[in-house]
């Protein structure tokens, strides 16, 4: 994995339980009990950050369940990884971001306008 321990530590300051896995040639960071923006249901969910380009996106944030509440979302990602099903919203990030920046931008897809 190409991310420094400093970047992992920044994530762990927000989400204490972060673990790394590689499956199918993709790096994943399992973010257990990620607190979502106000109005989201569920309010806390496991998430899987894929910091690698895939499916035409620079990075993807997958959720253990589809999130309701907030703005309309285009749920266009559905994968099976680490023995679980995961769902992603169509949401673009830019290349060259730190992990915390990636996560923050992905979570904007769940916020009320």
pLDDT of residue 111: 86
pLDDT of residue 50: 97
Residue pair 103/61 in contact by the 8 Å Cβ criterion: yes
Number of domains in the chain: 1
| Residue ranges for the chain with pLDDT beneath 50 | none
The model's pTM is 0.93
Q: Which domain holds residue 57?
A: 5-110
pLDDT of residue 1: 58
pLDDT of residue 44: 96
pLDDT of residue 72: 86
pLDDT of residue 113: 66
For 43, the token pair is 């309010």
d(CA 28, CA 61): 9
């Amino acid at each position: 994995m190409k991310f420094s321990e400093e970047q992992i530590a920044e994530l762990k300051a927000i989400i204490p339980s972060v673990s790394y896995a590689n499956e199918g040639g993709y790096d994943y960071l399992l973010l257990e009990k990620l607190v979502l923006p106000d109005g989201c249901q569920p309010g806390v969910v496991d998430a899987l950050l894929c910091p690698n380009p895939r499916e035409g996106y620079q990075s993807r944030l997958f959720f253990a369940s589809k999130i309701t509440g907030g703005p309309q979302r285009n749920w266009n990602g559905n994968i099976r990884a680490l023995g679980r099903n995961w769902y992603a919203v169509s949401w673009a990030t830019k290349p060259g971001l730190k992990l915390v920046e990636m996560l923050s931008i992905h979570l904007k897809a769940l916020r009320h306008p």
